[in-house]
Structure 1
């Protein structure tokens, strides 16, 4: 089976973090310590969720404040390889190589494994997953759900302590969602799931509600999710998207 991490160590820390683009503040003064095994971050589209994920992943830097993963700046990509993995909403934004085995081997090669050893591990992973016949298949021939699974296997082969999930069930049919959910639930890693769907984070240990770049609520799902759902229903009834952006 891909990935043998046995515990989620350390954590993600944000200290007074803000992020702005051309003077427009997207995230404002966030201070968080994310150490739980299952963490959900919810909010409407445009609330800053994806920006927060990109900051935690080190893909962008904060305008103010500091982000760290196990005490290390996530912009240090080499240091992050064993610590942090990312599963983006659109697998086509992640897949780089023409065949499945090449795609799986890439992350291992980044970690310093020789090409032959990386390919051997990739093939062993596919065999353990009952997908040995995928090895030389063109990645472009995979379905959306299969591409999601390939990206997950690529991350798990690198055995990171924490995995960031960006809308992991978006665009997947119900059977594929069910299979992916079972696999994610069984992982030993810390999972930080970012979604607009309360169902995607209902089993989390902790849920943060992000609204207009600030934490609106932070607590157990039984407390945060009913309040979020009620507010989204209220906003929907108010037909709040009629005004043009200034």
Structure 2
């Protein structure tokens, strides 16, 4: 169970999340909202990458911001730009890093490459890979750590259609709980739940069929009408 308990976050003097409260037991959850709504900040708070000024996020009772080891065991996060995430020069080094952080056998990196049919990537320089391939490296690195929750923060933005389809198929087959931050309602069609974040609070929350039509209607309205 993921519990977001009255979480407040301010960045640069602006209130980004405002006493946000959510219980998230579902296996597939989408989070939508316009730019600056607070959805990416929420993802970072769930992953323990931000310490809220008030409130907390817990998974299985562990405070994600204050128990770093529990956060690493519980949550993996993939960002929009894989180059903001990859820090080692070769694929196997990148996959082994998280395992070492958790005190696990780094040989699990090679096992993950075999699982995805990429054993030949072990010593390959990450710089030689395409953007879609680097996204796959990030996903394998997260999966190697065996988290209970995987957060995707607009991970497929800017990718071509075949690469996006391939990565979405991989995500669809994951056993872990998935939370996806997205602007694209099609990416979360069929999910168990959608949370619409607006100005740091919950605008709507429920099944996709109950939330997405209203969200789409507002996003497609003329700019003048939306800003009125």
Following TM superposition, by how much is the alpha carbon of 1:51 offset from its aligned partner in structure 2, in angstroms?
Answer: 0.9
Equivalent residue for 2:211, pick from 219, 224, 242: 224
| 4+ residue runs over 3 A deviation | 235-241
Equivalent residue for 2:79, pick from 88, 98, 114: 88
Equivalent residue for 2:140, pick from 132, 153, 168: 153
| SS in structure 1 of the partner of residue 212 of structure 2 | helix
Following TM superposition, by how much is the alpha carbon of 1:22 offset from its aligned partner in structure 2, in angstroms?
Answer: 4.7
RMSD: 1.6
Partner of 1:48: 38
Query: Structure 1 residues 226 and 159, CA, compared in 2 at 3 Å: closer, same or farther?
Result: same
Partner of 1:110: 101
Partner of 2:47: 57
Following TM superposition, by how much is the alpha carbon of 1:239 offset from its aligned partner in structure 2, in angstroms?
Answer: 7.2
Partner of 2:22: 32
Equivalent residue for 1:194, pick from 181, 197, 201: 181
The number of aligned residues is: 227
Task: Please report the TM-score for the alignment, with normalisation by the length of structure 2.
Answer: 0.94
Unaligned 5+ segments in structure 2 are none
Following TM superposition, by how much is the alpha carbon of 1:124 offset from its aligned partner in structure 2, in angstroms?
Answer: 2.4
Q: Does 1:16 align with 2:3?
A: no
Question: Does the CA-based 8 Å contact 2:218-2:226 persist in structure 1?
Answer: no
Question: Does the CA-based 8 Å contact 2:43-2:153 persist in structure 1?
Answer: yes
Following TM superposition, by how much is the alpha carbon of 1:170 offset from its aligned partner in structure 2, in angstroms?
Answer: 0.8
Please, which moves more after superposition, 125-134 or 32-41? 125-134
Task: Please report the TM-score for the alignment, with normalisation by the length of structure 1.
Answer: 0.88
Larger Rg: 1
